[in-house]
Chain A
Amino acid sequence: MVRLITHNLLACHAKGCTQNNFPLQFKDVSIELKEQEVNSEFVKNFLPRLEWKALVNTARQLGDTSLPEELPDMVDDDFLKALHHVLFEIHVEEGAMVCPNCGHSYPISNGIPNMLLSEHEIG
């Protein structure tokens, strides 16, 4: 179950790929939206650890434009609700994540990403 919270913590690790290797770009994805109760405290506590730009841009690529370009100074309930939705309720079940630098494609199947590299790609 790849969600944007997961995606925000992953980067390409192919041999020699150390720059511009984040965020991975979703490709040919099939998505399921699954509702879940909002836990504002939880979302708020994780907020400082997110790469905000990467999150916003990735959400937009997947058609969700609810998040502001810049992280607001004051967060209210509506904002946390939108953030909760982006982080947890968008489930990428199939597709791939492609490295913006080296183009390596990491497939996702049944919600499980395959981040393994073959022998010659290992750094």
Chain B
Amino acid sequence: MFETPLTNIDYDKVYEPAEDSFLLLDCFEQEYQSIQQRFTGRVPVVTEIGTGSGIVTCFIKQNILPHSIFFATDINPTSCSTAAETIKLNDTHETHPFTFTAMQMNLTSAVRSNKIDLLVFNPPYVPAENVPEIPKDLDDSSWLDLALLGGQDGMMTTWEVLNNLENILTPEIGIAYILFCARNKPDQVAETMKARGWKVDVVIHRKAGWEVLSILLFQK
């Protein structure tokens, strides 16, 4: 069992690690060997979209792929500073502390095309009328809405990533782990992506309260 990273979070502003976050940690623990094998002899570029507290990236950095370059993006500036804190809080001498950068960014939009080897995303997946607008003020109380609400089928933000996956990942090598809830209709999403030439696998799923969460692995 790998250890869960320590965090120090302002829960009014930053997404508190929950069942979905922990499912990702379990997913990477389960995938440890195949991920290690895939990236042997390579320094992978690992990018997490919507890093929140940074707990998932921190876990990967500590336990799964310590020798990597890590980008963690979030539109929420407090998430970015919190994620940087989380990395610092858990850093040990061996884990190459200077390989992590938190960035305020929409998805992966400023990362050059076809550079990301491992993409991770626990998106705002709750179905809602709209994807909320970005608050102007750091102390606005609606930052957490952005962590949750995903517009139609809870899929608006996730589709933006999936539709662009070909340009985001490194050709042949790149893979993406993305989390879904049942109301996102992950089966249908998988079919659509398969029709576009992706290999899609459900790597883990779990009933969490009234949600059923699953993580899908996308690769070419």
Q: Within 8 Å CB of B115, what residues of A?
A: 9, 49
At the interface, yes or no: A67 with Cβ under 8 Å from chain B?
Answer: no
Q: Within 8 Å CB of B104, what residues of A?
A: 112-116
Q: How far is the CA of A122 from the CA of B106 in the complex (A)?
A: 10
Contacts A1-B101, A110-B81 known; list 11 others, CB within 8 Å.
A2-B101, A9-B115, A10-B111, A11-B110, A22-B112, A36-B96, A36-B98, A112-B81, A112-B104, A115-B110, A116-B105
Q: How far is the CA of A89 from the CA of B96 in the complex (A)?
A: 12
Q: How far is the CA of A49 from the CA of B67 in the complex (A)?
A: 15
Q: Within 8 Å CB of A6, what residues of B?
A: 71, 101, 103
Q: Within 8 Å CB of A36, what residues of B?
A: 96-98
Residues of A that sit less than 8 Å from B by CB: 1-3, 5-6, 9-13, 22, 34, 36, 39, 42, 45-46, 49, 88-89, 91, 106, 110-117, 122
Cβ of B96 and Cβ of A114 under 8 Å apart?
Answer: no
Cβ of B77 and Cβ of A46 under 8 Å apart?
Answer: no
Closest to B75 in A: A116
What's the dominant secondary structure at chain B's contact region? mixed
Cβ of A114 and Cβ of B43 under 8 Å apart?
Answer: no
Q: Within 8 Å CB of A2, what residues of B?
A: 101
Q: Within 8 Å CB of B41, what residues of A?
A: 45
Min CB distance B161 to A, Å, is: 15
Min CB distance B110 to A, Å, is: 4
Of the residues B97, B101, B102, B134, contact of A116 by C-beta under 8 Å: B134
Min CB distance B55 to A, Å, is: 18
Q: Within 8 Å CB of B101, what residues of A?
A: 1-3, 6, 113
Cβ of A112 and Cβ of B84 under 8 Å apart?
Answer: yes
Q: How far is the CA of A34 from the CA of B77 in the complex (A)?
A: 24
Q: Within 8 Å CB of B71, what residues of A?
A: 6, 9
Cβ of B69 and Cβ of A115 under 8 Å apart?
Answer: no
Q: Within 8 Å CB of B110, what residues of A?
A: 10-13, 106, 115
A3-B98 contact, Cβ under 8 Å, with A11-B110, A11-B112, A115-B105:
yes
Q: Within 8 Å CB of B100, what residues of A?
A: 1
Closest to B117 in A: A49
Cβ of B103 and Cβ of A113 under 8 Å apart?
Answer: yes
Closest to A7 in B: B101
Q: Within 8 Å CB of A111, what residues of B?
A: 84
At the interface, yes or no: B64 with Cβ under 8 Å from chain A?
Answer: no
At the interface, yes or no: B178 with Cβ under 8 Å from chain A?
Answer: no
Q: Within 8 Å CB of A39, what residues of B?
A: 67, 96
A-contact 0/1 string along B133-172, CB 8 Å cutoff: 0100000000000000000000000000000000000000
At the interface, yes or no: B42 with Cβ under 8 Å from chain A?
Answer: yes
Cβ of B43 and Cβ of A89 under 8 Å apart?
Answer: no
Q: How far is the CA of A8 from the CA of B71 in the complex (A)?
A: 12
Cβ of A42 and Cβ of B43 under 8 Å apart?
Answer: yes
